[in-house]
Amino acid sequence: MESNKSVSATTSNNLGKVIVKSVYVVAILIGLYYVVTIALPFLIISEDVYGSYFLPRAAWVFPHVVGGILATLIGPFQFIPRIRNNNIRIHRLLGRIFLICVMFAGLSSFYMAATSQVNLPYSIGLGGLGFVWLGSAIMAYVSIRNKKIELHREWMIRCYVITFAFTTFRLFQDIFNAWGVGTQEEILTLMSWSCWAIPLFITELILQGRKILK
Ligand code: HEM
């Protein structure tokens, strides 16, 4: 009877791991899709790509996009236990590059939010996104400098969920457009805060929920 219980616990544990891994892989593939289709073209500064909206701000957009792309691509490797456990030097190197990218992309995002021409709530929503991005990166860095590994892990998870807001934003923008819900301005304004506030709250439910159930 006891062994039946432990077999079913192991089975549901394994199933849980498979589900988590599948969600992780699908999310990364979606992220890659938006990086390739939306962000990568911005590595070529031209009228064609930037248009009259972004070209005058190219000096801010370019470092923002380079930092954003690198952070999006590096992040997933940092959460792979095998790399972290067997190759701590690579983990540290990638971690430093990731944090520098977030600093550059985050700081430039304040200027871009302040000069965007959608509306004030949109600027404030994206300004808030820049603030929590930089804030979580600093907390992750300070945690590890103080050897608080568990806190570092949690802040890095938050920081990557925020980095992923670029993808969340575009994904839901496409979904709302496909459904024909709201005007373009309404969708942009809604996504400027919901692309990070809602995923961050879900992350918190998981991080704190696990501790409560332990
Ligand atoms: C997570 C924090 C981020 C913040 C606060 C942020 C903020 C912004 C802002 C304010 C704009 C200008 C919007 C406008 O003028 O209407 C912008 C545009 C852009 N960002 Fe970010 N961004 C973030 C993450 C990223 C990431 C991770 C990437 C790359 C993977 C990225 C790539 C771009 C690109 C390509 C544009 C110009 C094209 C477009 O708006 O679709 N951003 N971002």
pLDDT, tens digit, 9 for 90 and up, residues 179-196: 999 999 999 999 999 999
Cα 104 from Cα 101, distance rounded (Å): 5
Cα 89 to middle of ligand 1, angstroms: 30
Q: Hey, whose CA ends up nearest to atom 35 of ligand 1?
A: 39
pTM across the whole model? 0.93
For ligand 1, say whether the CB of 42 is within 6 Å of any of its atoms. yes
Check residue 87 and give its pLDDT: 92
pLDDT, tens digit, 9 for 90 and up, residues 88-141: 999 999 999 999 999 999 999 999 999 999 999 999 999 999 999 999 999 999
